[in-house]
Amino acid sequence: MHSQTEVHLKTGGIVPPVAQQLHRENIQRIVEETLSASSISLCDLSAIATTIKPGLALSLGVGLSFSLQLVNQFKKPFIPIHHMEAHALTIRLTNKVEFPFLVLLISGGHCLLALVRGVSDFLLLGKSLDIAPGDMLDKVARRLSLIKHPECSTMSGGKAIEHLAKQGNRFHFTINPPMQNAKNCDFSFTGLQHVTDKLIKHKEKEEGVEQGQILSSAADIAAAVQHTTACHLAKRTHRAILFCKQKKLLPPTNAVLVVSGGVASNLYIRRALEIVANETQCTLLCPPPRLCTDNGIMIAWNGIERLRAGLGILHDVEGIRYEPKCPLGVDISKEVAEAAIKVPQLKIQFDL
């Protein structure tokens, strides 16, 4: 019903106090408009579902205190939602997907691979050891000053990189994927960002360009960074599929790989993951872009899934707190690393 993206673009990214203020100013009106648009009154609701973890503390606080007011006023059951669980289950709103399936969640704030065995039953196979891919792409876009590029001025950093990369040559610069010798399913994007920063600095010197001006090689750098990101995500996902099949955690045929989160809307990255899915006889599914980025629909859907399964429905909200940091499911990443699965080389080469 409402998005804060435009404001965040102007501030060059999400500034937590700004996000909190926007939440405060809009939450009541949006709830009223949503109920009015669906011709449902608060009394008709079966329950109230709200994200309580993980996320920006200031924003989580606004959502939780507003929800608890409604819960107490209208005597409704409360369903606390794990933000990552909601991303993982969104695909079941749009497609008929049975458990178990593998999910890769890639966004501005998160990066993880998990096996989804049930509504609240997750095995964590790997996660980013530092920053998330969306955050890294945003930082590279900022370093390249893409906001000043006439074609990219209204785009988020990740979108600007994807747009510009189409005009660039991904092989003009060689940027090696991170963690090539680590036989696990963890990710890392900080090194990639530092290598790219160095490359940009070198090109600015070479081209005699001040920082803050657009490099003539910006499109080639964007293409190289995007390609390396896609290869890194593809290789770790490939290993996760092989591990799950080896341990009989996924069916040998027609297994499903779900890719969700904001970065899942990048078509180049999606194409690289499609190559992995085809190679491993998996079906790749992605929610539509509007349901890939953070949205209220996925939280409501997660509430429905939990309501149907009878999981985590609270009739007493005493002592409920939000948690800015919170893992997802049972972490078996050590077991994945011990299996040390060698991933066959795949040619991630295609034209969009």
Tens of pLDDT, residues 133-148: 999 999 999 999 999 9
Residue 97's nearest CA partner among 320, 286, 331 is 286
Ranges of the chain whose pLDDT falls below 70: 8-13, 349-352
Measured distance CA(302)–CA(89) in Å, rounded: 7
User: What confidence score (pLDDT) does residue 109 get?
Assistant: 86
Residues in the chain: 352
Pair of tokens at residue 116: 């989804």
Pairing of strands 111-118, 121-127: antiparallel
Cis peptide leading into 16, omega within 30 of 0?
A: no
- DSSP labels for 144-213? TTGGGSTTTTTS-HHHHHHHHHTTS-TTSS--PPTTTT--SS-B--HHHHHHHHHHHHHHHHHHT--BTB
The values of phi and psi at residue 102, to 5°, are -95, 140
- Residue 157's identity, in one-letter code, is G
Q: Do residues 60 and 81 touch, judged by C-beta distance below 8 A?
A: no
CA distance 175 to 157: 19
Output the pLDDT for position 252: 87
The Cβ of residue 43 has, within 10 Å, a number of other Cβ atoms equal to: 8
Per-residue pLDDT, 11: 66
Element containing residue 114 per DSSP (H, E) = strand 111-118
- Residue found by looking up tokens 């290789």 in the block: 235
- Residue in 288, 270, 59, 80 with CA at minimum distance from that of residue 158: 270
Give the distance, in angstroms, between the CA of residue 48 and the centroid of all CA atoms in the same chain: 24
User: How much is the pLDDT for 331?
Assistant: 98
